[in-house]
Structure 1
Amino acid sequence: MSTAVHTMNATALKGRARDLGRRVTVLMLLPSTLWFLLLLVTPLLIILVFSFGERSAVGGYAGGLTLANYLNLGSRAAAFSNTLLLAPMGTLVCLLAAYPLAYFLAVKVQRSRSLLLTLVIVPFWTSFLIRTYAWIFILSGKGLPAMLASLGLENVRLINTPSAVLIGIVYGYLPLMVFPIYVSLEKLDKRLLEASQDLGASAFEGFRRITLPLSAPGVITGVMLVFILLMGEFLIPAILGGGKVFFVGNALVDLFLQSRNWPFGSAVAMALVAIMLVVIGLYLKLVARHGGRPGEGAL
């Protein structure tokens, strides 16, 4: 009898402890949840409501319920096409440039690693605007084109072109791709590579079946971070594109601040959010389907 009572009391105590743990968890999550709802969900809902409204005679939002703004998205086709072309291309070039650098820093360098990592961070010590403006002088007639002209390549135009925007994108966002990959590679157990060599695997096979799968979380994080930021980029196209290479971010600045067509700008913004959700969802699904778990099939 006493054993049964003791068991019931223990069960009751465990149940109270679980309830207390749930309450503590809810209380701890409440501030961040309210912050999330206030700063992310609420603005998106407001933009969604605005996207079905009409522009007032003096600009801004006049209310209403119409799909005309969404039906007029084709008028910003150039901005969407530039964004959907240069944002993935910039992400890919950043990945191709960042992976060898991150691998070199994580695997090959020992003594001067801290110094080299500091050099990667150094560009963030200055204003992003100033660094982007500096590329105007590099890509203008007296900069890189003048050097190419001295080599016999005349009339090479770089500034105010998609190539200039792509160069600015890679320069500005490369460190954001390097560090997630570096963190994944820095945790790599080198004994796995030694074991693969003992089993007769070549250096390329060891990289393909061990290093690359184990660094996949860093690659995925870096790609998502850079791609999401590039989809909303407007400063680099505005400065290095010279008003000739528009991103969706530039169109939004024009619609909200210049023409004050808030409903149409809201529709453009919601279309961009929908495109990002679809692209990121497909990418993560593709990674889960073909990538498997990191390290799977390493040996």
Structure 2
Amino acid sequence: MPTTAPPPKPSAASERGGSPFADATASDSALRRFLHGLPGVDTVGLEARAASLGTRSIKTTAKAYAIDLAISMIDLTTLEGADTPGKVRALAAKAVNPDPLDRTTPRTAAVCVYPDMAQTAVAALSGSGVKVASVATAFPAGRAALDVKLADVRDAVAAGADEIDMVIDRGAFLSGRYLKVYEEIVAVKAECGSARLKVIFETGELSTYDNIRRASWLGMLAGADFIKTSTGKVATNATPANTLLMLEAVRDFREQTGVQVGVKPAGGIRTTKDAIKFLVLVNETAGEDWLDNHWFRFGASSLLNDLLMQRQKLSTGRYSGPDYVTVD
């Protein structure tokens, strides 16, 4: 089902090769009109489709492929006040070599840390191909002045972060100040330089599916490289339904603009069964182009251990003991 209103009539900007949605961000009222012109979400239909796709079963060979794919899509994450350089180095070692007893195990996509730990992660992952992602913009609440948020981003980029995970100002969004949110994302994107930008909506605080759809389009219009469900710090994080909704949005955005945007569900995805459900959502909704860690990620920590246990079960026919994987 399309998730966007018909594109606006061509403006002078679009006729010169600009975005077909350039006029939508020209003013606060224009942006509000566009976002509230998006079709309303059929809650029952969305949740029923997500549940139906979650019942799909896959056979052994496909399961082995899915497990390796899921491992390669993980942003292995530690975002705690008690983080230390030693913990970050240990996590980096696990990202590069998740299973020391099986060197065929894929590396994870990235290690995600706070900005003050980015330099440690960069040094530990040098030459590995594993990216360093850093949260920024006063994560997780986002309650700071814009200059403070931008300084946060600059620190992470200067430390060598390859990716920046920013949080939107949910208070501004929920009070209808869409242009403020848009302009903050644009400003953060400018500070990222070559680093890719993931925009976190904290879907558990947005209250409605309609708001999640609006936030998805707002983030993409502002230049997000990824749209991300959650910080993992609230009660409701990634769900099949809210991720399905965001996958529909990136699919339709590419159809309208030619620009591909990634999706990152984060928080609450802990088991191999969960991860495979999300991969089915990706394949059936956005398509195979998103089945790659350049376009789809899992924000997780405990998920990797279950994937490793299931991978070992497929290769040996038995489950390992509790000491087979490290406790992060």
If each structure's helix is expressed as a fraction of its own residues, which one has the higher value? 1
Q: TM-score, normalised by structure 2?
A: 0.25
Q: Whose RCO is larger (CA < 8 A, sep 6+)?
A: 1
Larger strand fraction of residues: 2
User: Over alpha carbons, which structure has the higher Rg?
Assistant: 1
